[in-house]
A = this chain, B = another copy of it.
Amino acid sequence: MPDNPQQDNAQKDRPQKEQPRRQARGERRIAQLLEAAASVFSTTGYTAASTNAIAREAGVSPGTLYQFFPNKEAIAIELRDRLMHEMREAYGEALAPVDPATPLEEAVGAAVDRFIAFNCDHPVFYTLMHGPDIPGRITEAHDVLHATLISRIEGLLHSLLPDARPAEVTRTAHVCFGMYKAGLELVLAHEGAERDAYVEEVKKVLIRYLEPLVGDRLGTAHATAAKSTP
């Protein structure tokens, strides 16, 4: 068991996890702790972040932290769940509506802009979602989420190129997601105007990768050999 067998003496036989009646103070503490956790996670990564450091950052004792979270993992899960909720709420179904007549540039640009904006506002999101540092159970929930994201992209792709073998669509979706992920990392590594420039590069990568696939369907006149002289 080369995993992370440090300890796992958490609660186990609790089919219903009935939490104690929270007071307003408790809710405030939870928010405080999650904010501190976001800070610590995004600067040191998940495994290197110690619960004592999170408690210290929040200005409380380790015992207080464990009043509200059964273990370290639960902190990350709750944080991720809240971020996911906030994202859905802010951007709705970001790439769900696959308007079949939208030009490729617009569809890709909008999706990339939204996701990147959210990640820039909440740096910890990248750490939790795409960080390779996450052990055990968290990953399982992430895998589900990752799969739904991929299938969203697949759906979008399917509406763009109805005549393609499913395996290829899946592969293309994985490539798009991987490239987006890499682009996001590049974007987060820069700031200001340079950051904006990288955002445009990411869009270019995706658009140019997908352009030949959608071909010149409909009247969308994107041209790989087009010039600025009409």
List A residues at the B interface (Cβ < 8 Å).
2, 4, 40, 43-45, 47-48, 53, 131-133, 135, 171-172, 174-175, 178-179, 181-183, 185-186, 194, 197-198, 201-202, 204-205, 208-209, 211-212, 216, 223-225
**14 A–B contacts, CB within 8 A, in A order:** A2-B53, A4-B48, A45-B133, A47-B47, A132-B133, A171-B197, A175-B201, A178-B182, A179-B205, A205-B205, A208-B208, A208-B209, A208-B224, A223-B225
The 3 residue pairs across chains A and B that have the minimum distance between CB atoms: A182-B182, A224-B224, A208-B208
**Which residues of chain B have C-beta atoms less than 8 A from A48's C-beta?**
2, 4, 47, 135
User: A140: shortest Cβ distance to chain B, in Å?
Assistant: 17
| B211 x A204 contact (CB < 8 A) | no
- Expressed in whole angstroms, the Cα–Cα distance for A169 and B7 within the complex equals 49
Which of A40, A133, A201, A216 has most chain B Cβ within 10 Å? A201
| A198 x B171 contact (CB < 8 A) | yes
Residue of B nearest to A224 (CB): B224
**Which residues of chain B have C-beta atoms less than 8 A from A40's C-beta?**
2
- Expressed in whole angstroms, the Cα–Cα distance for A47 and B48 within the complex equals 9
Interchain CB contact (< 8 A) of A2 among B43, B132, B183: B43
Interchain CB contact (< 8 A) of A212 among B132, B209, B224: B224
| B216 x A209 contact (CB < 8 A) | no
Interchain CB contact (< 8 A) of A182 among B4, B179, B197, B223: B179
- Expressed in whole angstroms, the Cα–Cα distance for A179 and B174 within the complex equals 13
Q: Given contacts A2-B44, A133-B133, A223-B225, could you give 18 more A-B pairs where the C-beta distance is less than 8 Å?
A: A2-B53, A45-B132, A45-B133, A47-B47, A171-B194, A171-B198, A171-B201, A174-B198, A175-B201, A175-B202, A181-B182, A204-B209, A205-B205, A208-B208, A208-B209, A208-B212, A209-B209, A211-B224
**Which residues of chain B have C-beta atoms less than 8 A from A198's C-beta?**
171, 174-175
**Which residues of chain B have C-beta atoms less than 8 A from A185's C-beta?**
178
Interchain CB contact (< 8 A) of A175 among B4, B131, B186: B186
